[in-house]
Amino acid sequence: MKNRFFTIIAFLGLTALFFSSCSKVPQAEIDAANTAIEQAKLAGADVYVQDNFVALQDSLNNVMVSIESQKSKFIKNFSTAKEHLAGVTQYAGEVKQQAETRKEELKVEIQNTISEVKTLIETNRQLILEAPKGKEGTSALVAIKGEIDAVETSINETSTLFESGDYLATLDKAKAAKEKATAINTELSGVIAKYKTNVKNKKA
């Protein structure tokens, strides 16, 4: 009878041990997921791939809820949570990559726009030289020159913004400068074309 009693106790103890082996909170996996999310954030995921970053955080929150839920149970099982955490960590890596790709795309777009604006500035300065002048040369073109200068100042300011890493604002600024430089180019070309037509008519 005594032996039987101890056998039952031993069986219960072993069963408890079996379940406890699965009941350890997957802290290492939680830490890995958090670190991966933090790295994605450092890569600018919360700015450049905002929606994906929110989805990522939401996934982690859901896993944390399921972990607490398991912790509340008498018999705990974290194996599903572990799988999900691995998934979150992997997804965080992907989101980080997406953010970096988007940043690279923006950088290229910014550099191209800046380069286009610089070319337009040069062309516009050249057009100024061809534009009709008064007795004292360029007096009537001062306003347009001022506009070209303002575009140049603005495009120089984009470098500071670019260095600060705010690529979205930088692109907006560069695009605005491009629009203005293009408008000046159209205006100057129009004036020159009109002037040339007049000169041609005069010769005819």
Partner 1 sequence: MKNKILLLVSFLVLVIATVTSIRIKTNKPPEIEVMKAANMLAKAQYEKSPKFAKEAFHEATFHYNSAMTEWKKQNEKFILLRDYRKVSEFAKKSMEYSEKAIDKSRIFIASTEDILKIRIETIGQKIKGFEEYYGKFPLDKKRDNYTRCKLLYTESLHAYNSKNYSICKVKLDSVEIVINDVFNHCQENLINYFEDYSKWNEMVKITISWSKKNQSYAVIVDKLNRELYLYKNGKPDKKYTVELGANWIGDKIQQGDKTTPEGLYKIVEKKQNGQTKYYKALLLDYPNEEDKKRFSMNKRNGILNQDAEIGNLIEIHGSGGKGIDWTDGCIALTDKEMDEIFKSCTIGTKVTIVGSVKTLSELSYNIK
Question: Which of 151, 161, 162, 170 is the binder for partner 1 (CB under 8 A)?
Answer: 151
- Read off φ and ψ for residue 134, nearest 5 degrees: -90, -165
Question: Which of 3, 21, 27, 201 is the binder for partner 1 (CB under 8 A)?
Answer: 201
Cα–Cα dist 59/52, whole Å: 10
Q: Which of 52, 98, 62 is nearest to 83 (CA)?
A: 62
User: Binding marks (x or -) toward partner 1, 100..139, rule CB under 8 A?
Assistant: --------------------------------xxxxx--x
> How far is the CA of 143 from the CAs of 13, 133, 182, 188, in angstroms?
91, 13, 16, 12
CB of 75 vs partner 1, minimal distance in Å: 11
Question: Which of 146, 164, 165, 186 is the binder for partner 1 (CB under 8 A)?
Answer: 146
The H or E element that residue 60 is part of is helix 50-72
Cα–Cα dist 197/23, whole Å: 88
For residue 29, the tally of other CB atoms under 10 A from its CB is 20
Cα–Cα dist 27/15, whole Å: 24
> Which tokens is 145 given?
């020159």
Residues recorded for the chain:
204
Give the footprint of partner 1 on residues 1-20 (CB under 8 A).
1-2, 5
CB of 195 vs partner 1, minimal distance in Å: 5
User: Binding marks (x or -) toward partner 1, 160..199, rule CB under 8 A?
Assistant: --------xx--xx-xxx-xx---------xx--xx--x-
Give the footprint of partner 1 on residues 44-103 (CB under 8 A).
51, 54-55, 57-58, 61-62, 64-66, 68-69, 71-74
CB of 35 vs partner 1, minimal distance in Å: 19
Q: Which is nearer to partner 1, 94 or 187 (CB)?
A: 187
- Read off φ and ψ for residue 138, nearest 5 degrees: -95, 15
Q: Where on the chain is the footprint of partner 1 (CB under 8 A)?
A: 1-2, 5, 51, 54-55, 57-58, 61-62, 64-66, 68-69, 71-74, 132-136, 139-143, 146-147, 149-151, 153-154, 168-169, 172-173, 175-177, 179-180, 190-191, 194-195, 198, 201-202
